[in-house]
Structure 1
């Protein structure tokens, strides 16, 4: 069917007014073409972290299924807010969440894998509506329990919906217009990459590049979905990068607060690395004066849960920062306990890769800086005159 799939990340919703801005863009897209629109949304910036903190404050041993059910409410709220903003413009719109999207998964709570897809709920919604707002990152298992597809996994929802509707592309909107050779907020002179191959961005994503969720890239490659990375500006949408089967670029990534686990033996290290590899999670072996261990650089929450459920003596002993340099022939990871030194190293590596790059400030950092409105539920409870 003729449908355009758009995904808006948490950085698109720093303030309540941003839902109106996104709704305006959706209205413009409808006016410009005949396609119906599916808008996949993430939780408002900062909400997921707040929800998790509150849950763990209530019960530090909350079950994975309980956590998934709680965290999914962030996307559900965002879906309701965007539906309200689109409806205000007089556009026929309907929202769907995990229970009505038609995506079924296994029961690996925290990072479930997709078992089956049913396009009928979205197709049925399009019979009376021009726009469907879909809650990202969530589905249900075969028993009807809510599952999350992973942290920051709304990209995967968008790619899956595009595939099940028979579309060959989906658009991913974030606070940057595309994929860069480094985080442009941290590394002056980072270069926008116009086109990049699935395999190349998959490596970058699994080593800390946050523009795309790595499992979304993997799914897109397997199903032939082109990912178009964009951002919304005051002058409209800006297209930065096409993720296809072609293109490559040298890059450097930085990940802060990578957990380090101590292992009792070399065999335990090997077993944990093998376990994580089976779940496509990157783990780096650490060998220093403190003994043997591993650090985990992707899907951290899910990985720590996996390790906790194994019969090992491994324990978290701290965190570090990981700097990864990638090109066609080299994948090298550097660990630094000091984040500022890690950033400095990343800049040095990037300057070596791109000596002629122009160093221009990209702007103030948005990602990782929740707005004052990032969690309306909690904000309402703390306004003057309301009981705490």
Structure 2
């Protein structure tokens, strides 16, 4: 079926009027000849954190399945609001959530993994409607319980749906038009990268770059779905980066507040690293005069729960900030305790990488 898959992140919905802005963009796309559109949405900015706080205030030991069901409502609200905004324009539209998306996962609540997909329900809905609004970051397990795919994982939902429908591209909208050589909000001279290979952006995402979710990138590479990074502005959509099989660039990333655990022995460290590796969680193993330590860089909430449930005894010793230099020769990682110090280091490294770049504040006109 000919359908265009668009994903709108939480930064697209900072205010209720933003739903009308996105609805207008979708209406314009249909008016220019798009056949059908599937719009995947994230929760409004800040909602997921608020929902988690409410749940833990009610019960600090709420079951993981209970928490997943609560967190999923953030994306459901966004889907309902965007459906309402689109229907106001008299466009045939329907919203779907995790119960009806046709995506099945395991029961690793907090960051479930996809096991199977079935496009029949989405395709049937598209036959009757011009637009389907899909709640991102959620699915159901084999028992029919809602599962959460992880923080910021609506990218993964959109890419899975594109693959399900036989589409070879997926458009991802965020508050920046694409992937930069560093976070443009932190590094004024960061450069937009026009094209990137899957493996390059995968490493960037695993080490703190926030534009694309690393599991979404991995799924896109496996199923050959190109990712088109865009930003929706008052002047229309801006395309910044295309992620496919080609492209490379030097970059520097920072992962803030990464938890660090101390291990009593090399064997304990091996067991912890093996546990996290089985769940595709990015970790740094550190052996120096301070002893044997493990720093968790990705999927932090889920990883911390795995550690707490494991029959091993690492001790949490604090948070650090991981600064990573990436280029064709590999990775160079720095741990910096102070966040301001980490940002200073990121800027120094970027200036060394791109010394000829004239620094222009992100968002400023030139």
The reply to whether TM is greater than 0.5 is yes
In structure 1, what is the Cα distance between the partners aligned to 2:91 and 2:226?
Answer: 28
Q: Could you say which residue in structure 2 is the equivalent of 1:135?
A: 135
Q: Does 1:154 align with 2:183?
A: no
Q: Is the 8 A contact 1:41 1:136 kept in 2?
A: yes
Q: State the secondary structure of the residue aligned to 1:277.
A: helix
Q: Is the 8 A contact 2:271 2:312 kept in 1?
A: no
Q: Could you say which residue in structure 2 is the equivalent of 1:116?
A: 116
Displacement of 1:292: 2.4
Q: Does 1:179 align with 2:185?
A: no
In structure 1, what is the Cα distance between the partners aligned to 2:62 and 2:291?
Answer: 32
The RMSD of aligned alpha carbons is 1.1
Q: Could you say which residue in structure 2 is the equivalent of 1:255?
A: 255
Q: State the secondary structure of the residue aligned to 1:108.
A: coil
Displacement of 1:58: 1.4
In structure 2, what is the Cα distance between the partners aligned to 1:335 and 1:63?
Answer: 33
Q: State the secondary structure of the residue aligned to 1:126.
A: helix
Displacement of 1:273: 1.1
In structure 1, what is the Cα distance between the partners aligned to 2:291 and 2:61?
Answer: 29
Q: Could you say which residue in structure 2 is the equivalent of 1:210?
A: 210
In structure 2, what is the Cα distance between the partners aligned to 1:358 and 1:72?
Answer: 43
Q: Could you say which residue in structure 1 is the equivalent of 2:49?
A: 49
In structure 1, what is the Cα distance between the partners aligned to 2:148 and 2:341?
Answer: 34
Q: State the secondary structure of the residue aligned to 1:196.
A: strand
Q: Could you say which residue in structure 1 is the equivalent of 2:300?
A: 300
Residues 148-175 of structure 1: per-residue CA shift (max 9 Å, x gap): 1111000000000000000000100000
Displacement of 1:361: 0.7
Matches within 5 A, 1:1-388: 1-287=1-287, 290-363=290-363
Greater displacement, 74-83 / 27-36: 27-36
Displacement of 1:277: 1.6
Q: State the secondary structure of the residue aligned to 1:127.
A: helix
Q: Is the 8 A contact 1:264 1:314 kept in 2?
A: yes
Displacement of 1:330: 2.6
Q: State the secondary structure of the residue aligned to 1:186.
A: coil
In structure 2, what is the Cα distance between the partners aligned to 1:240 and 1:139?
Answer: 30
Q: State the secondary structure of the residue aligned to 2:199.
A: helix
Structure 1's 34 and 186: CA in aligned 2 closer, same or farther, altered over 3 A? closer
Q: Is the 8 A contact 1:185 1:363 kept in 2?
A: no
Displacement of 1:189: 0.8
* TM-score w.r.t. length of structure 2: 0.98
In structure 2, what is the Cα distance between the partners aligned to 1:61 and 1:290?
Answer: 33
